[in-house]
Amino acid sequence: MNDKFFEQVEEISERDDRALIMLKRRALFAPFVVLAFFFPIAARFWYLQINKGDQYRQKADSNRVRITSLPPPRGHILDHYGREIVTNRPSFNVVMIREDSFEIDDVLKRLAVVLKEDIEVLWERIRDASGTPRHVPIVLKEDIPWDTLAYLENNKYKFSGIRIEVRPVRTYHYGNLAANAIGYIGSINRQQLEQDQEGFYEGGDLIGKRGLELLREKDLRGEKGERSAEVDARGFEQQQLKNMEPLPGNDVHLTIDAELQKAAEEYMAIGEKAGAVVVMEVDTGRLLAAASTPTIHLEDFIGGISKKNWDALLNNSRHPLINKVVQAAYPPGSTYKIVTALGGLVEGVIDENTMIYCPGQYRFGNRTYRCWKRGGHGAVEIRRALAESCDVYFYQVGQRLGVDKLAEYARKLGLGSETGVDMEYEKAGLIPTKDWKRQRHNEQWHDGETLSVAIGQGFNLTTPLQVCLMTAAVANGGRIYRPRLVESVTTPDGRVVDRFSPELMSELSEREKHFLPIIRDGLFEVVQGKRGTARQVRIEGMTVAGKTGTAQVVRLAVYKGMKEEDIPYEYRDHAWFTCYAPADKPEIAVTVLVEHGLHGGSGAGPVARVMLKKYFEHRLQQMEDSVADASGRNG
Amino acid sequence: MFRFDRRLLIHFDWGLLIMLLLICGMALFNLYSASYPPQPWGTPPYLKQLYFFLMGFAAIVFLLGFDYQELHFWNYFFYGVVVLLLLTILFIGKSAGGAQRWISLGFFNLQPSELAKLMLVITLASYYSRKDVTDGYTIRQLVVPIVLTAVPFLLILLQPDLGTALMLGFIFASMTIFVKLRLSVYLILGGSAVGCAFLAWEHLLLPYQKQRVQTFLNPEADPMGHGYQIMQSKIAVGSGGQFGRGYLEGTQGHLHFLPERHTDFAFAVWSEEWGFAGSMFFLGVYFLMLVWGLYSSMFARDRFGVLLSFGIVMLIFWQAVINLLMILGLLPVVGIPLPLVSYGGSSLLTTMLGIGILLNVRMRRFQSPRGQID
């Protein structure tokens, strides 16, 4: 640089003295401009950090902490004696975390082969979850077998983004025992999620769908745990913060005796009998067995039932999805004669000695009503009428009572209304009255119809549970207890949170009770009498009282006179048998309905006999032993 | 020939140097946290920044040996080189995020637009100091500085780098207003600025740039997109509270919720970890440095020195203000770093060179233009 340049600059500088002073003056104000910005900025820091600091800290925490809920193991379901019917086992599920998978398509192609699953099915599950964040695992296949698990674990590197998750699932120690009563669980659906007021559930949770699993959902579900983990902005976990272990659900102890229930189901399975078996303690309402056959296969519901299996259940003509104990109503047949008998005695239209002559038919109006015994029973009184199930006798008692009186006693004995048992979709059945017919069919009641009703046919519809309730009431002296399935609910550490106590729903009046011994005598004769309709139910060593019944399915002339075995299955009559034992000191009532089982005595009676023998097994054995001992001593 | 003058040492602005070192120290400390946990590959950002800081420091020492007056001579040469670099970048620049801003020099990527800011300060200071317009500039007299600003402005806008282009506008406006204008010129320039802003919004701004402004006005409308940065930054700053979460304890930054946490949003990390107390301490030193710089300009021995000091302070000041307002959610995200604090070699070097010039002006306040002591 030359001196000339500096001279020029100096010249400029000297010339500009005035301008320099002006600039310096202006520079004097510049710091104020700078500070004018500093203070609002400082104020903003104050606002964000001091005023709103707590709020932002909360936001920061919720930003970084991901809370995932841990599903609690569901409570167990045990029988009356503490035998485990339903517990849990680990299910190994294959899940995909899309965020971690580099080549989803490739991985799924390989996985489809390993899981023996159609690749489209796997893609469908991924697509279903397309709205969820990419770090959320999507279940591709539940409950994989050990060898598949081992293969996937050993070949992890081939399946990016694939993980195995363990979740507790139901395991059924007695197979399908009491399946319709216990029910099953499944993934929560949209509707159930919307109804969840407490906000307990989230998508994918398992929830009770049917039976006690549904009704006792709150007891069984337990408390969810929480897993808090610190995540980065992409959702990758950085570190685990804390774990709150889930609390297992409470255990539900049933009133049901698993062995008795098993016996009922096994015996019904012989010859594929469809129907229901109810065993109830007469003095409490405890249900010791409540079988409905054919039954559902609970294992099919684990991880969601396949469409094929579901369709098969829906289309099965024997309706395995229906719990026939409460959800199916049948004409009660001759078991209804208990109602007619009680009504007749209480209302005084008959007394215990009233003789009615049965010639095998009864002419009423311009119609002839037949007795099941073509040749007739001759002169019969109430006990014999019950024992031999004389239709003519009860036609006449019914006629004298009228349909409305019959209905009154039917209701008093527990028929025609829901029992309130802990089973869902219970049917009320139907006990017809004149009013009912007018309202329902807009027709007058014909007196002839009363005759059908009096012997349990016509419009009458009852559930097997109602018939059992009636039988128990007769046995226990006129008390109607609410039937119950749950004995108690206990916490996992054994503390009782709910305990069964007998609930008396209604009771017959003293006058009504007064006539019960006459009916009980009649029912005793049904089994124990020489000409009883259920002689084959007799058990050596104990007395049984009961009533047979046949519920007409259709009245088709074409099948008249045909051999019963030749009538197509679906047109055969339903068979009823209801009883209690021991007859002198009743403990349990047993009701059996066999759909299209033809006759009560032969169709349903043997099942009841099995139940009684099973229940009294020990006592009968002891008796046998003592008899053997005695004969041994005598011999 | 370089002649060492003992007076230079006596008049050396130790206060400014100490503030510079303090700020750079805190910034490096903060960068360590902002890039924590360290990535297993490559040189970590704080270390790279340290290298640039050392380079900058060496450049300052080197620069102090020369009289700032010589910038009058080199001024147009610099101008030409920077414009050439800006032109080059349009053709061979390294592209990142849809913009071409860097020239790869192997060991580091040079961002000529950063140099352009300093170059414009020197150019305008040189131009205005040569004109004797004590009655205020007329529009005609402003044509040259407007053209001198417009060339790099447009070239930077083409990259596109709206933030840096706007900085040139701020530098031009600050320095031009500082040298005094006639009242009519204020009105004409003010009116044109509003008109240009309107035209730019309608015709010049790219959709993403418009989006940023719109997002700024309503960040919650797009929480996972453009509004995300603003919201996360506010959360980071706010969650710092009174005394902060503690060093290396800030979750917003470490868990990657805060984007660009070591570049434009580095100060949000500081605020999160040191809270209101720490932020105020840092900003106190920072603004003191700026005021101190203006103080230097008041004592400069000539108009060039005054203008140069003022321009450099404004260069740092506007960037700092815009960056802070952006971090605090009071301005749209425009991509302006906080000088000395944000990670970035070009920005750090430019700022340090600027502070080198400030030191230069101050230490030569008693020296005659030829290096003679008055």
pLDDT 10s digits, B161-191: 878 888 999 999 999 988 888 888 888 888 8
Predicted pLDDT of residue A560: 63
Q: What are phi and psi of A354, to 5 degrees?
A: -55, 120
pTM to 2 decimal places: 0.63
CB burial readout B103-130, b (16+ within 10 A) else e: beeeebbbbbbbbbbbbbbbbbbbbbbe
How many whole angstroms separate alpha carbon A502 and alpha carbon A487?
A: 10
Q: Nearest chain A Cα to B2, which residue?
A: A1
Predicted pLDDT of residue A526: 92
CA distances from B10 to B5, B70, B302, B365 (A): 9, 22, 20, 11
Give the confidence band of A532 by pLDDT, cuts at 50, 70, 90. Answer: confident
Name the residue among A1, A38, A59 with its Cβ closest to that of B70.
A1
Query: Average pLDDT, stretch A153-176?
Result: 86
Asked, as a colleague might, if the bond just before B160 is cis with ω within 30 of 0, I would say yes
Q: Look over chain A and give the mean of its residue pLDDT values, rounded to a whole number.
A: 87
Give the confidence band of B224 by pLDDT, cuts at 50, 70, 90. Answer: very low
Q: What are phi and psi of B274, to 5 degrees?
A: -115, -5
How many whole angstroms separate alpha carbon A580 and alpha carbon A586?
A: 6
How many whole angstroms separate alpha carbon A70 and alpha carbon A89?
A: 16
How many whole angstroms separate alpha carbon A605 and alpha carbon A591?
A: 9
Q: Look over chain B and give the mean of its residue pLDDT values, rounded to a whole number.
A: 83
Q: Nearest chain A Cα to B130, which residue?
A: A12
- Residue B97: is its pLDDT beyond 60? no
How many whole angstroms separate alpha carbon A175 and alpha carbon A158?
A: 38
SS3 A362: strand
Q: Nearest chain A Cα to B232, which residue?
A: A60
Predicted pLDDT of residue B40: 55
- Residue B103: is its pLDDT beyond 80? no
Judge contact between A392 and A356, C-beta under 8 A: yes
Query: Average pLDDT, stretch B279-293?
Result: 95
For A315, other C-beta atoms within 10 Å of its C-beta total 8
- Tokens for B57, please give them: 């420091």
Facing residues of A330 across strands? A462
How many whole angstroms separate alpha carbon A4 and alpha carbon A598?
A: 133
CA distances from A405 to A346, A348, A432, A466 (A): 11, 12, 11, 19
Among A259, A227, A223, A255, which residue's Cα sits nearest to residue A241? Answer: A227
Q: pLDDT tens-digit profile of A110-160?
A: 999 999 888 888 888 888 776 666 667 788 888 899 999 999 988 888 888
> Residue A233 and residue B134: Cβ atoms within 8 Å?
no
Predicted pLDDT of residue A288: 96
Contacts for B144-151: CB closer than 8 Å, 24+ residues apart = B145/B172, B145/B176, B146/B172, B148/B79, B148/B120, B148/B123, B148/B124, B149/B120, B149/B124, B151/B83
Q: Within its chain, how far is the Cα of A561 from the centroid?
A: 42
Residues 6+ apart with CB under 8 A from A4: none
- What's chain A's length in residues? 635
By mean pLDDT, which of A86-90, A97-101, A259-263, A447-451 is the weakest? A97-101
Give the confidence band of A583 by pLDDT, cuts at 50, 70, 90. Answer: very high
- Tokens for A438, please give them: 């007018």
Among B39, B19, B13, which residue's Cα sits nearest to residue B282? Answer: B19
Chain A: give the shortest CA distance to residue B285, in Å. Answer: 11
Judge contact between A344 and A352, C-beta under 8 A: no
To 10 degrees, the CA torsion angle through A88, A94, A99, A102? 160
Residues 6+ apart with CB under 8 A from A233: B255, B256, B257
Facing residues of A279 across strands? A289, A590
Judge contact between A605 and A534, C-beta under 8 A: yes
Total CB pairs under 8 A between chain A and B: 162
Judge contact between B239 and A57, C-beta under 8 A: yes
> Residue B256 and residue A234: Cβ atoms within 8 Å?
yes
Judge contact between A450 and A403, C-beta under 8 A: yes
Q: pLDDT tens-digit profile of B8-66?
A: 777 888 999 999 999 999 999 999 888 776 665 667 888 889 999 999 999 999 988 88
**Can you list the positions of beta strands (E) in A345-417?**
356-358, 361-364, 367-370, 378-380
Q: Which residue has the tokens 């806008």?
A: B157
> Mutate which of B131, B179, B265, B298 to test chain A, going by most A C-beta atoms within 10 A?
B298
Among A574, A572, A573, A613, which residue's Cα sits nearest to residue A590? Answer: A613
SS3 track for A108-150: HHHHHHHHCCCHHHHHHHHHHCCCCCCCCCEEEECCCCHHHHH
Among B329, B239, B328, B278, which residue's Cα sits nearest to residue A64? Answer: B239
CA distances from A5 to A15, A18, B69 (A): 16, 22, 10
Reading phi first (left if > 0) and then psi (alpha if -120 to 50, else beta), residue A611 is in alpha
Q: Nearest chain A Cα to B305, which residue?
A: A20
CA distances from A299 to A83, A151, A373 (A): 19, 24, 48
How many whole angstroms separate alpha carbon B81 and alpha carbon B71?
A: 14
> Residue A26 and residue B180: Cβ atoms within 8 Å?
yes
How many whole angstroms separate alpha carbon A375 and alpha carbon A171?
A: 56
- Tokens for A8, please give them: 């020029």
Q: Which residue has the tokens 């309107």?
A: B198
CA distances from B33 to A67, B45, B251 (A): 26, 10, 11
Q: What are phi and psi of A397, to 5 degrees?
A: -65, -45
> Residue B317 and residue A12: Cβ atoms within 8 Å?
no
- What do you get for the CA distance between the two ends of chain B, in Å? 20
Give the confidence band of B372 by pLDDT, cuts at 50, 70, 90. Answer: very low
- Tokens for A134, please give them: 């990419």
How many whole angstroms separate alpha carbon A109 and alpha carbon A380?
A: 80
- Residue B1: is its pLDDT beyond 90? no
DSSP A240-292: EEEEEPPBPPPEEEES--HHHHHHHHHHHHGGG--EEEEEEETTT-BEEEEEE
Predicted pLDDT of residue A427: 93
> Residue A48 and residue B234: Cβ atoms within 8 Å?
yes
Among A67, A74, A122, A71, which residue's Cα sits nearest to residue A94? Answer: A122
Query: Average pLDDT, stretch B200-226?
Result: 65
Q: pLDDT tens-digit profile of A24-41?
A: 888 888 899 899 999 999
Chain B: give the shortest CA distance to residue A200, in Å. Answer: 28
Q: Is B111 or B124 the better-scoring residue by pLDDT?
A: B124
Q: Is B344 or A483 the better-scoring residue by pLDDT?
A: A483
Interface of A with B in 6-35 (CB under 8 A): 6, 9-10, 12-13, 15-16, 18-20, 22-24, 26-28, 30-31, 34-35
> Residue B283 and residue A41: Cβ atoms within 8 Å?
yes
Name the residue among A12, A53, A64 with its Cβ closest to that of B130.
A12
Sign of the alpha-carbon dihedral angle for B361, B367, B369, B371? negative
> Residue A232 and residue B255: Cβ atoms within 8 Å?
yes
Give the confidence band of B90 by pLDDT, cuts at 50, 70, 90. Answer: confident
To 10 degrees, the CA torsion angle through A452, A454, A458, A461? -170
Among A190, A239, A245, which residue's Cα sits nearest to residue A223? Answer: A245
> Residue A6 and residue B287: Cβ atoms within 8 Å?
no
Residues of A in contact with B328 (CB under 8 A): 41, 44-45, 48
> Residue A34 and residue B306: Cβ atoms within 8 Å?
no
> Residue B241 and residue A22: Cβ atoms within 8 Å?
no
Predicted pLDDT of residue B322: 92
Predicted pLDDT of residue B371: 44
Chain B: give the shortest CA distance to residue A122, in Å. Answer: 29
Which residues of A carry out catalysis? 334
Judge contact between B320 and B286, C-beta under 8 A: yes
- Residue B216: is its pLDDT beyond 70? no
Predicted pLDDT of residue B136: 80
Please check whether residue A43 touches B, CB under 8 A.
Answer: no
Sign of the alpha-carbon dihedral angle for A308, A311, A315, A316? positive
Sheet of A237-244, strand order: A65-70, A225-231, A237-244
Asked, as a colleague might, if the bond just before A483 is cis with ω within 30 of 0, I would say no
CA distances from B232 to A572, B90, B236, B259, B280 (A): 76, 33, 6, 8, 21
Q: What are phi and psi of B233, to 5 degrees?
A: -65, -45
Query: Average pLDDT, stretch A344-350?
Result: 94
DSSP A521-580: HHHHHHHHSTT-TTGGG-BTTB--EEEEEEE-----GGGTT--GGGS-GGGSPEEEEEEE
Residues of A in contact with B307 (CB under 8 A): 23
Please check whether residue A60 touches B, CB under 8 A.
Answer: yes
Chain B: give the shortest CA distance to residue A157, in Å. Answer: 22
Give the confidence band of B356 by pLDDT, cuts at 50, 70, 90. Answer: very high
Name the residue among A52, A64, A230 with its Cβ closest to that of B238.
A52
- Residue B98: is its pLDDT beyond 60? no
Predicted pLDDT of residue A564: 67
- Tokens for B142, please give them: 């402003």
Residues of A in contact with B291 (CB under 8 A): 31, 34-35
CB burial readout A561-575, b (16+ within 10 A) else e: eeeeeebeeeebbbb
